[in-house]
Chains A and B, each alone.
Chain A
Amino acid sequence: MAIALIPFLYVISTALKDTNSLFSYPPDWIPSPIYWGNLRSLLQDQPFVRWTINTLFVSGAVTILKIWFDSAAAYALAKMDFYGKRSLALILLLSVAIPIAALIIPLFFVVRYLGLLNTYWALILPPLANPLGIFMARSFITAIPDSLPASARLDGASEFTIYRKIVLPLIRPGIVVLGMFTFMLQYTSFIWPLIAVQDSSRQVLTVGISSLKSAFLPDWGLLSAAMLLAAVPITLVFLAVQKTFVVNDLSGALRE
């Protein structure tokens, strides 16, 4: 726990010190008095709020869309019989293994061809293609006894009704885990936003922080303040869902 936390103390200490240097000699560990200028200048002079809103918007949009898309697809794969199901599942399963980093080049061209470069869509749509979420959702849905949807079908319920009124409520904890997982991956993603969006007003936190670092003379107090604040939203989200996160075994995801 100490190993996990000590590194953050540097950030907190630097964020609350009146210095633009990363290290001052001799070192002063505990800022006194506490200096709020870094946080203030971050919020006032930098588009930090904008980056945060962008990040939350993009991550939120991806998470919600992904939960919809993946749970719907997973329901079809788990509880319905149709032509081509096995081969489709196999293709999707294999695709889980495709490293996204390897696809940056073609993805860039696809997004450019669609005219989406420099738009929020460029950040939101490509992550939806990752099929891992389908298999996570499917492992939750598979656990629902077949008799439940079957009896609902006999009662004349449509598949949409079953999905909506029986399946989704039952896999709620799993959905939370899938959502957290997606949100986290999205919140921390860096290389694709760096490439896909150049416009500073549409930039996300990770790229924004990187740009603070690359200023000609990086202001480390400011940078540390940014890192400190960037950790807040995602930590809050995790705090809210962490109980659910612990009791859900994702290992069923890749079981065939």
Chain B
Amino acid sequence: MEERETRFPFLRLRPLIAVLTAAVILAAACGGDDESGTDAPDQPATTTQASEPDTAQDSDGSAAAEDPDEPAVQDSDGSATAEDSDEPAMADLSGTIGFIKGPHSAMEAEFEQQIIDDFNADVAPNVEVEFSTYDWPVHVAELTTLFASGSPPDVQYLVDLIYPSFAEQGQLHDMTELVNDPSWADERAAISPFAWDLAEQQGGTWGVPVLGAVYNIFINKDLLEEAGVADSWDDSYESMLTAARALTTDDVFGFAARTSAADFAWWDWYPYIHNAGGDVLSDDWSSCGLVGQDVVDAMQFLIDIHTAGVAPEPGSLTNQGLFDAFKAGKIAILHHETPNITDLNANPPDFEWDVAFAPPGPQGQTVMGNFGILSIAEASDNKDAAWAFIKHWASAPQVGRFAEQVSLQVVREDIIDDLFAENAAMAKVQSDLVPRVQGLQPHPQILEALQSAWPVAEDAFRGNLTGAEAIAGMCDAIDGVLAG
């Protein structure tokens, strides 16, 4: 018997131990929140674990219960607020704050560390900032989970597509009083009013606008010249379709845009709808806003250009695949995103390229953009340090450097002219495209509305629906979301 045992050593341990282990594990597990810190094999020494998620929920999104001018009510590190001033001296801030953001570059962590190092060097030496990233395709799920856990990171970078839903559910701190603090008035004034409009919803201010992402068109100038459409291609939708036909060969597609919901394809669709005076929601956000013949015509145009044999078959190339094909000279006019400019500058293709935007429609010539804000979690127990960090991140030198590193737009008017001196394409984006931006409507269910309506567009781009049918179907889906 003993011999048999040794052949399978890890089973020699007594089953009794197994039972006991299980009992201990489960007892520990059931011990509840206060013990979870010791349970976890290597729980980092972060802020106190899950300090009663209930209290965070009780406040129910109602505007700032605590007075930001009196940090003493925050029980975190009492010593920090001992001084008698209204505004705690920055050097007195201490503790740890978490900061989460989606990556805008493969070197995101490195760039953030520069910002954090500057924060520790210049502003708050005693505050430790723990940076983490969420993944874009699943970021709603990740953030939901973090908020639901009761101990989300103190500071979040949130895009306008999703923050309204978290604000509505009481997860974000209303920063109205913080951003209106007289000592920050100059900084506040430097940020464009339209950006503040996006951050102010539901009677509160849910963050400080910091970055914008503009959705542009990349053009292959060599191909356009060759086909003789370099000057005319963006005169009108009709001339774009004509140009795309002229550009298309066995090897080259004249035009391409994202078409699948997984790629957030609506960013490439929005300008045509905005140019037709339509939007996903009506002006008062009570119903579908895709109304009028112009909107139907815009949709019909997009269907036509996708079924005219001038674009890759919808769904045949991924987001990245489209851009790779453009770099290889296989797509002449491509809807995509400005962070790719970094790649084009770093690995120049063997043709001349430029950034552009969609031709004018009947009601204007817009560019789609979306914006990111820095928010504070309502559950944060170190809101002073979180606010100090946000002010630092949003300051001209920090946000300016970051925007240049990742080719994104800033919303501060005071630094726009100084940025991108070395980057002609980005300078053009900032000067020609950004002023035309019409963003999205930050309704709490805007993402759900887009995700629900988009499959109809996917069907239409494959030639299965007319423009009128597609708009009707999308409106059904949008109204369904608003009603449910």
Contact = CB atoms under 8 A, between A and B. Distances in A.
Direct contact of A and B (CB under 8 A): yes
Interface of A: 20-25, 64-65, 67-69, 72, 108, 112, 114-121, 125, 160, 163-166, 168-169, 172, 175, 194-195, 198-202, 210-211, 214-220, 222
Contact of A69 (B12, B22, B145, B325): B22
A120 B11 contact: no
Given A68-B15, A116-B29, A216 B105 contact: yes
A120 B40 contact: yes
Given A160-B14, A214-B137, A25 B339 contact: no
B330 A25 contact: yes
Interface stretch (B31-39, B204-212, B215-223): B31-39
Among A22, A163, A200, A214, find the residue whose CB has the most chain B CB atoms closer than 10 A.
A214
A194 B108 CA distance: 21
Interface stretch (B128-136, B158-166, B351-359): B128-136
A68 B13 CA distance: 10
B141 interface: yes
Nearest to B408: A216
B149 A160 contact: no
Given A22-B321, A198-B142, A200-B133, A216 B339 contact: yes
B209 to A, nearest CB: 19
B146 A198 contact: yes
A114 B41 contact: no
Contacts of B313: none
Contacts of B134: 198
Main secondary structure of the interface of A (DSSP, over half): helix
A216 B407 CA distance: 12
Interface of B: 1, 4-5, 7-8, 10-12, 14-16, 18-19, 21-22, 25, 29-30, 32-33, 35-36, 39-44, 49-50, 102-106, 108, 132-138, 141-142, 145-146, 148-150, 318, 320-321, 324-325, 327-330, 339-340, 342-343, 347, 406
B35 A195 contact: no
B40 A119 contact: yes
B36 A116 contact: yes
A115 B49 contact: yes
Contacts of A198: 132, 134, 142, 145-146, 149
Contact of A169 (B8, B148, B330): B8
Contact of A160 (B16, B22, B32, B103): B16
B320 A220 contact: yes
Contact of B106 (A64, A168, A217): A217
A115 B11 contact: no
B1 A165 contact: yes
A121 B320 contact: no
Given A24-B328, A112-B148, A115-B50, 9 more contacts: A112-B150, A114-B30, A115-B36, A119-B36, A121-B29, A160-B16, A163-B15, A211-B133, A214-B135
B22 to A, nearest CB: 7
A112 B25 contact: no
Given A69-B18, A115-B36, A22 B320 contact: yes
Contacts of B40: 118-121
Nearest to A109: B148
B35 A175 contact: no
Q: Closest 6 CB pairs between A and B?
A: A25-B328, A115-B36, A169-B4, A119-B40, A68-B18, A214-B135
A114 B25 CA distance: 12
Contact of B15 (A72, A119, A215, A219): A72
Contacts of A218: 320
B41 A120 contact: yes
A168 B11 contact: yes
A85 to B, nearest CB: 19
A199 B103 contact: no
Nearest to B29: A114
A67 B11 CA distance: 9
16 contacts: A20-B347, A25-B324, A25-B325, A25-B330, A68-B18, A115-B32, A115-B50, A116-B39, A121-B25, A164-B15, A165-B4, A168-B11, A194-B138, A210-B138, A214-B136, A216-B103
